[in-house]
Amino acid sequence: MKGMKKMKEEQAKKRIEELHKLTEYHAKKYYDDDNPEISDFEYDMLMLELRNLEKQFPDLVTKDSLTQKVGGKVKEGFKKVEHEVPLQSLQDVFDFEEIKSFCERVNKQAQESQIEKPKYVVETKIDGLSAALEYKNGKFVRGATRGNGLVGEDVTENLKTIKTIPMQLKENINITVRGEVFISKKDFEQMNKKREENEEELFANSRNAAAGSLRQLDKKITAQRPLDIYIFNVQKIEGKEFNSHFEELEYLSKLGFNVNPVRIFCKNIQEILSAINKIGEERESLTFGIDGAVVKVDNLQLREILGTTSKTPKWAIAYKYPPEKKETKLKDIICNVGRTGVITPMAILEPVKVAGSTISKTTLHNEDFIKDKDLKIGDTVVIQKAGDVIPEIVDVIKEKRTGEEIEFCMPKTCPVCGAPAIREAGEAATRCTGIECPAKLFRNLVHFVSREAMNIDGLGENIISQLLDKGLISNIADIYYLKLEDIASLKKNGTKFAQNLINSIQNSKTNELYRLITALGIRHVGVKASKILAKKYKDINKLANASFESLSLTEEIGPIVANSIREFFMQEQTLDLIKRLEKAGVNTIEKEDDSSDNRFEGMTFVLTGTLEQYTRTEASDIIEKLGGKTSSSVSKKTTYLLAGEDAGSKLTKAQSLGITIISENEFKEMIK
């Protein structure tokens, strides 16, 4: 019998060690990297298994277990803030029996302490990032993330960009409150839609989007994100006392805080369960995402008696709603072409209602996703809404196959323009290679005229959109055939604007060759590679005819980039564009550099922060013309760090390595 018990304990110990590694890894991806690899539900199930094993074998509980501490670390680049009152996490439960057990324990403690029968407040568990806001004499002075519960990150300046955080309260009081920073469902959908159009990686859920936005080292990025906050707790207050949590929340509203709008006062277990069900039924109509309902003891004196563990309060518990899944038919798979040419397969589904929304289509990401799921057209599939927002196919019910299902193959040519569609080694995406594919045209135009490319001042996204909408341009070369009256028609009294833009377009014709190569948007070819290619081939037509061998032997090019260049110049669309650009008078030949000033020879510069007097490209051009090199990372080989405003981690690293740091004015003196 003892041997059997010991064997079970050994098995439990092994599994607990595995769960420690798994939970630590996924907690880091979730809390520190804001980039989870598994769903919240999958993570919750790992934590539940760990908690149950530790309950069964208490001798195997260790201090470093995530059941005993709060996940999250302070990100490098932020100041540390010690929380006077710890920002603890909540104990998660997944069925009503555990809610009842919680209430029975609280009721028993109230009886023993001769306190009136406890009442509760049920609130929505907002899916965001917890933060503490500190006020002195009613003025907002500091804000911090939860971090590990004891120490968080100072994000004061970032929090100041959130419009719903009052900078001055309606009373001159010293108070610290806790709230949840989040992004509304509507704003989250718009953010992801824009990222999808730009073919950037989608945010997995609104929580990680909010967390990643708040924990930006550059507050300008945070300011561009649609962050909001709901306050749900008083951490510390001077000069006032409250008896109940509900009373605290009412007072916070009067002070001017944006308080959690869903708070239901409950007198007993039946009312608590009813409130949880009500929130569950109405969660789809809420403007913000939730991942559960929180049950809190209302009486603050009873809270003190109940106390806390090292990680969680004993006076609150969080009920987590299970993810809703539904079966439907995969009717078809179509392919969309994004603005950067990525061809994305899209599932066309038999419409099905999941978590309050009717789902009729969803992205299938790429070819690998379809293969991994073994998806076929005609399959019965299981749909789930990830993070309450993004619908996804999570499974295929192969038992329901009839044999009439159809295999899907990614197209070999672009479904929009007919140019070859390629998938490069090591990449998941399949891309259209046509430079003038209508699906890519807007993005290609924006890149072509950008500062680092042809630098056509005044030709921004809005003007490009208008030119396309009015049919004044239909390809890149058309820019050079625009007439004054065409541009003037875009704006009221637009003659002056039109003349300035015509001048800017004319000036771009004399650009150096590397700018044209950059502007063409060849995959893997940025400014640095463009300069190397321009210097070696000296003529766009010679580059177009360069062999794979010649390209792959070029410094810093290599076989992958060489193949991309060859693929690009083999396209009829590309050669046709170059002919029209040449005909328009655009320079396609490398200019001879008669400068003999190599004062920066042997030196390496790194640029960081926001430069006011130069763009990054302009500063890099100057350095390279004077014989120097630029690098994107700081190392012992770095000679100078050119630091602008809001310089971040590169500045810190340069200081630690003893690298010479120069300002823009000092740089200006160096290049005189």
Catalytic positions, written as ranges: 125
Contacts 24+ apart (CB under 8 A), 501-504: 501/456, 501/457, 501/458, 501/459, 501/463, 504/456, 504/457, 504/458, 504/459
Query: What is the Cα–Cα distance from 594 to 597, expressed in whole angstroms?
Result: 9
- DSSP state letter for 115: -
What the block records as the tokens of 345 is 């397969």
DSSP 441-489: HHHHHHHHHSTTTT--TT--HHHHHHHHHTTS-SSGGGGGG--HHHHHT
For 649, list phi and psi in degrees, rounded to 5: -65, -30
Place of tokens 């014709």: 509
CA distances 654 to 75, 159, 429, 611, 639, Å, are 18, 28, 36, 17, 10
**In Å, how far from its chain's centre is CA 125?**
22
Query: What is the Cα–Cα distance from 95 to 320, expressed in whole angstroms?
Result: 8
Q: Which of 372, 368, 340 is nearest to 426 (CA)?
A: 368
Q: Which of 526, 564, 528 is nearest to 546 (CA)?
A: 564
Reported as half-sphere exposure (CB side, CA atoms, 13 A), residue 355 has a value of: 23
Q: Which of 181, 158, 210, 178 is nearest to 87 (CA)?
A: 178
Question: Residues 597, 636: contact at Cβ < 8 Å?
Answer: no
Q: Which of 617, 624, 614, 625 is nearest to 667 (CA)?
A: 614
Query: What is the Cα–Cα distance from 427 to 399, expressed in whole angstroms?
Result: 32
Query: What is the Cα–Cα distance from 359 to 362, expressed in whole angstroms?
Result: 8
For 555, list phi and psi in degrees, rounded to 5: -50, 130
Residue 436 CB burial class (10 angstroms; 0-12, 13-18, ≥19): buried
Query: What is the Cα–Cα distance from 465 to 463, expressed in whole angstroms?
Result: 5
What the block records as the tokens of 223 is 């300011």
| Segments of 90-216 assigned E as strands | 92-93, 120-126, 129-136, 139-145, 151-153, 175-183
For 520, list phi and psi in degrees, rounded to 5: -65, -20
Q: Which of 643, 638, 639 is nearest to 665 (CA)?
A: 643
Identify the three-state secondary structure at position 386: strand
Q: Which of 295, 314, 274, 247 is nearest to 120 (CA)?
A: 295
**In Å, how far from its chain's centre is CA 352?**
29
Query: What is the Cα–Cα distance from 520 to 578, expressed in whole angstroms?
Result: 10
Query: What is the Cα–Cα distance from 546 to 520, expressed in whole angstroms?
Result: 16
